[in-house]
Amino acid sequence: MSQNILGQYLVWHFFDMPKELGKAWKNYLRSYFNFFSTGSLLKTLLTPWHGLMWSYGRGFSFTRYAETIISNGFSRIIGAIIRIFLIIFGFVVEVFIFILGGIVFFTWLFLPVLLVVGFVFSIKLLF
């Protein structure tokens, strides 16, 4: 029975729990990706800010065309700058979650080793 339990423990520690931790890690990455709207902002990176567009109007006028192109260009540039700001922030958070998740994941995997090493270290400290 004890052998059976040991076997079950190994399956649980090195298969079941890492699977669950992996899922949680993925969930955090996905939810923060959505929280900072990274996907939508990337897709609309160069679209005008809040859809603000100037019309070229009827007939051809070089100055009006130039004005409109510049205005619409600025609208796109402003949009891109603000969006990039949030995209970068979201990206930093994602990197942080990725690293933190990795630490948790690998700490769990090496927990038995860490416990043994910790135990030996603490015994050394005591004696």
Nearer to other proteins, 65 or 121 (CB): 121
**Coil, strand or helix at 61:** coil
Reading phi first (left if > 0) and then psi (alpha if -120 to 50, else beta), residue 53 is in beta
Here's the x/- map for other proteins, 47-76, by CB under 8 A: it reads as: x-xxxx------------------------
Yes or no: say if 39 and 94 are a contact pair by the CB < 8 Å rule. Answer: no
Class of residue 38 by CB neighbours under 10 A (exposed 0-12, middle 13-18, buried 19+): buried
Q: How far is the CB of 66 from other proteins (least distance, A)?
A: 24
- Of 32-40, 58-66, 69-77, the segment contacting other proteins by CB under 8 A is 32-40
- Beta carbons of 124 and 41 less than 8 angstroms apart: no
- Contact positions vs other proteins (CB under 8 A): 1, 5, 8-9, 11-13, 16, 23-24, 27-28, 30-31, 34-37, 40-41, 43-44, 47, 49-52, 79, 82-83, 86, 111, 115, 118-119, 121-126
